[in-house]
């Protein structure tokens, strides 16, 4: 019997909890999060309402409930060192210690690690803590640049020239905002191409890779609008994407392996958990956009929906250092995941309104909602996701679109995610870029 604790209560954590609940290994699930997610609550033995960064109460709760294994959903508790503290009281964690979770918490640390093991995967960049030299470096990059706050911002700390920043004045204004709060930032060369996510299970030595997925970070259709946590994702039945070659995928897999090894070399702490590489295929090959120290959200919903192997068994192999012998395989199915979000998301999301949907639907993953007088109320972040899966991506997309459009509330979603039109246009653009 295993007592499994899941930290977090978004749609990603619904996917994690469902996968654990389907395990053949006998288990009881416990959850800690700020809000009660009704879909998680139904599958849990106990729910502890707490901030996911309240490390000492998380440790005390885990001791009391005799937790064997903890799976950490979001990035903030990883950066706060929740894994370091849990492991000290004998709770094994699917999630890295803070020394190596830095790969996500600090963008400059991530770039340094990449410089040490695969420098060709890094864009040109420079680190700053004041506005001095910013204009000059932007000129050196030919006016094509990205400004990144060097810390955790839920995917919203990045501004891209020509998209979010129209001119040098807007760039300097953003730099001013960061400097005012005493922050550091990076300016990077703007990479051009197609993005994809490759997540790997890592046991400290071995990486077992998941199928590649494409996320849609921009809020609105046609990839316009501000960056979000991710509006939706798709994956193909062959576990590749139409614009990627076998070499591109093995290149990304190798990069995750090198980064996991380099993290150990630099810090003396093995990387244990899920390592998420955010890549871009460019004219000059595969480059790294970012690293995350956890499952992607929405990406977790795509991959866990088609995981054939027993997820709890995979988790136990991760913490037990026996991933090499563990079977990790996925169904040959395409997946499309779409999120509905409050009108105004991400900058001024409306909240407090009722969300009407069928909570018992296994293709639905509730996220930023709470129950009040038996009604689902939107809390302001991404509200709910739907996953369609099929041998044919077209069917997966129409399933997801049909289901997501039936969720009512003051919400919107991107109809274009997973459609043939959008995928074809990206593939065409990539072909043109590669020449």
195 binds ligand GLY (CB under 6 A): no
Which residue lies nearer to ligand AMP by CB, 97 or 148?
Answer: 148
Q: Select from ligand AMP, ligand GLY, none the partner in contact with residue 188, using the beta carbon and a kind-dependent cut-off of 5 to 8 Å.
A: ligand AMP
What is the C-alpha to C-alpha distance for residues 107 and 127, in angstroms, rounded to an integer? 10
Count residues near ligand GLY (CB under 6 A).
Answer: 7
Query: Do 379 and 351 form a contact (C-beta atoms < 8 A)?
Result: yes
195 binds ligand AMP (CB under 6 A): yes
Which residue lies nearer to ligand GLY by CB, 271 or 339?
Answer: 339
Q: Select from ligand GLY, ligand AMP, none the partner in contact with residue 292, using the beta carbon and a kind-dependent cut-off of 5 to 8 Å.
A: ligand GLY
Which residue lies nearer to ligand AMP by CB, 158 or 199?
Answer: 158
297 binds ligand GLY (CB under 6 A): yes
Helices marked H in 268-348 = 299-305, 311-320
> Quick one: which segment of 8-16, 25-33, 190-198, 262-270 binds ligand AMP (CB under 6 A)?
190-198
- Closest approach of ligand AMP to the CB of residue 217, in Å: 4
199 binds ligand AMP (CB under 6 A): no
Which residue lies nearer to ligand AMP by CB, 10 or 155?
Answer: 155
Per-residue burial over 399-417, b = 16 or more CB atoms within 10 Å of its CB, e = otherwise:
bbbebbeebebbbbbbebb
* Interface residue with ligand GLY, options 257, 299, 401, 416 (CB under 6 A): 299
Closest CA to 399 of 339, 335, 346: 335
416 binds ligand GLY (CB under 6 A): no
What are the CA-CA distances from residue 357 to residues 177, 203, 376, 403, 409 (Å)? 40, 38, 9, 9, 9
Terminus-to-terminus CA distance in the chain, angstroms? 56
Of the CA atoms within 13 Å of residue 429, those in its CB half-sphere come to 12
Q: Which residues contact 192 (CB under 8 A, 6 or more apart)?
A: 282, 283, 433
Which residue lies nearer to ligand GLY by CB, 126 or 382?
Answer: 382
Q: What are the strands of the beta sheet with 207-209, ordered from one edge?
A: 207-209, 193-203, 272-282, 285-292
74 binds ligand GLY (CB under 6 A): no
* Interface residue with ligand AMP, options 113, 263, 289, 304 (CB under 6 A): 289
* Interface residue with ligand AMP, options 7, 101, 102, 146 (CB under 6 A): 146
- Name the site residues for ligand GLY (rule: CB under 6 A): 155, 215, 230, 292, 296-297, 299
């Amino acid at each position: 019997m295993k007592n499994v604790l899941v930290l977090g209560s978004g749609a990603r954590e619904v996917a994690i909890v469902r996968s654990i609940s389907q395990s053949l290994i006998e288990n009881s699930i416990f959850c800690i999060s700020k809000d009660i997610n009704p879909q998680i609550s139904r599958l849990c033995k106990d729910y502890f309402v707490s901030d996911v960064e309240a490390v000492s109460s998380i440790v005390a709760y885990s001791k009391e409930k005799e937790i064997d294994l903890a799976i950490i959903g979001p990035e903030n508790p990883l950066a706060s060192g929740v894994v370091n503290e849990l492991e000290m009281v004998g709770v094994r964690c699917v999630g890295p210690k803070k020394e190596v979770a830095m790969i996500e918490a600090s963008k400059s640390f991530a770039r340094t690690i990449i410089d040490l093991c695969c420098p060709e995967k890094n864009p040109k960049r420079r680190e700053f803590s004041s506005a001095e030299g910013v204009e000059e470096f932007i000129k050196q990059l030919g006016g094509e640049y990205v400004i990144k706050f060097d810390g955790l911002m839920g995917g919203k700390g990045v501004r891209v020239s020509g998209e979010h920043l129209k001119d040098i004045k807007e760039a300097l204004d953003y730099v001013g905002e960061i400097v005012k709060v005493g922050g550091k930032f990076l300016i990077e060369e703007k990479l051009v191409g197609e993005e994809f996510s490759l997540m790997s299970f890592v046991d400290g030595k071995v990486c077992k890779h998941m199928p590649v997925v494409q996320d849609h970070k921009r809020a609105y259709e046609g990839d316009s609008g501000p960056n979000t946590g991710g509006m939706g994702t798709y994956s193909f039945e062959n576990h590749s994407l139409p614009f990627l070659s076998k070499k591109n995928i093995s290149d990304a897999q190798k990069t995750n392996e090198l980064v996991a090894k380099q993290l150990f070399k630099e810090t003396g702490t093995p990387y244990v958990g899920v390592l998420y590489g955010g890549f871009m295929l460019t004219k000059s090959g595969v480059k790294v956009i970012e690293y995350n120290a956890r499952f992607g959200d929405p990406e977790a919903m795509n991959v866990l929906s088609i995981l054939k192997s027993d997820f709890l068994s995979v988790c136990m192999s991760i913490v037990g250092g026996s991933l090499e012998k563990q079977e990790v395989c996925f169904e040959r199915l395409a997946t499309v995941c779409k999120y509905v979000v409050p009108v105004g998301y991400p900058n001024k999301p409306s909240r407090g309104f009722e969300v009407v949907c069928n909570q018992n639907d296994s293709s639905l993953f509730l996220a930023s909602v709470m129950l009040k007088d038996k009604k689902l109320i939107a809390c302001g972040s991404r509200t709910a996701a739907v996953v369609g899966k099929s041998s044919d991506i077209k069917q997966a997309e129409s399933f997801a679109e049909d289901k997501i459009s039936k969720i009512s509330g003051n919400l919107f979603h991107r109809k274009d995610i997973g459609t043939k039109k959008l995928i074809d246009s990206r593939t065409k653009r990539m072909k043109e870029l590669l020449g």
